[in-house]
Amino acid sequence: MSRLLPRRFWKRWGKCKYQINVLRRPVIQFGIYYAYWTHDWDVDFVPYIARVKKLGFDILEVNAGTIARLGSKQREKLRKTASANGIELTAVVGLTKEFDISSEDKNTRERGIGFLNRIADAMHECGIRKLGGIIYGMWPGMLNDFSTEANERERAWHRSVFSMREAVKKAEDLGLNYNVEVVNRFEQFLINTCEDAVNYIDEVGSPNCKVMLDTFHMNIEEDSFAGAIERAGNNLGHFHVGENNRKPPGYGHIPWDEIGSALRRIGYDDTVVMEPFLMKGGEVGRDIRVFKDIMPNTDMDREAEKACRFLREKFA
């Protein structure tokens, strides 16, 4: 057939194939966590929406625990402001000891399931479709907070899976995704690698329960950034990014080219949220262990804007 068509046809077809491939490339949405700018976890998120829009982001990530405590009018204002600015909202939380769904205590586990259900209802009102974080146990949570017995991790794991099977029903009903965050061993003991997370969601057995990776934690725990991303594959539901030193992307040794290539290989076309922490003090500095200003006298907005452009280039 190729002999019957003129050369100009094939030149034009080559250009068309290139344009089709460009159109098929995954389109990632980029965001930033509100606590980049704050010392406290509970704040009014509304003023940050126009700010992140101006800086070039698509997403503002908020504290799920805070929105669970908002009234209906406050949730409506948050949703409408985000919609008016063309900003998507995502939510993240680390369960406290009071709501630990892996706890030995049945009442604590039930409170945790109830808390996740209240978060789900609040997310639905706010127009938020995605929850991430340490939603499978308490944060921070060390194994010796529970027991020194050899099999305690396995028992906590099964309690958490059983609880998540119950909690995720609400997410299924409301069309939400729960993304279990893989974190380092110094912050939690249940899910420290992508392999752990994949095994966990397999046991939960819900299409609404997915994996959340974070480059800061991957730098500590994974053998390979690309290997972990490829292991998550279609189960990757949310992705946090930040440098090894908690600075914005571009100021450390995280291999961004490798990560971008791996995301393209799995066809990831969802949410990437930047989560740097630069300021000491307050609840955020205390809980994240930021004991000094990491980038003193810096223009926070300028650095956020620069990091957003950096990520778009690396992950394009």
**Whether 221 is catalytic:** no
Catalytic residue among 221, 222, 275, 303: 275
**Whether 313 is catalytic:** no
> Could you tell me which residues come within 8 angstroms of residue 95 by beta carbon, excluding any fewer than 6 positions away?
101, 112, 115, 134, 135, 136, 137, 138, 139
Q: Please return the burial class of 159, using the count of CB atoms within 10 Å of its CB with bins 0-12, 13-18 and 19+.
A: buried
Work out the widest C-alpha separation in the chain, in whole angstroms.
Answer: 77
Q: Tell me the two tokens of residue 187.
A: 């912050």
Catalytic residue among 61, 88, 181, 187: 181
* Cα 129 from Cα 174, distance rounded (Å): 9
* Cα 166 from Cα 115, distance rounded (Å): 12
* Cα 40 from Cα 29, distance rounded (Å): 26
Active site positions, annotated: 181, 275
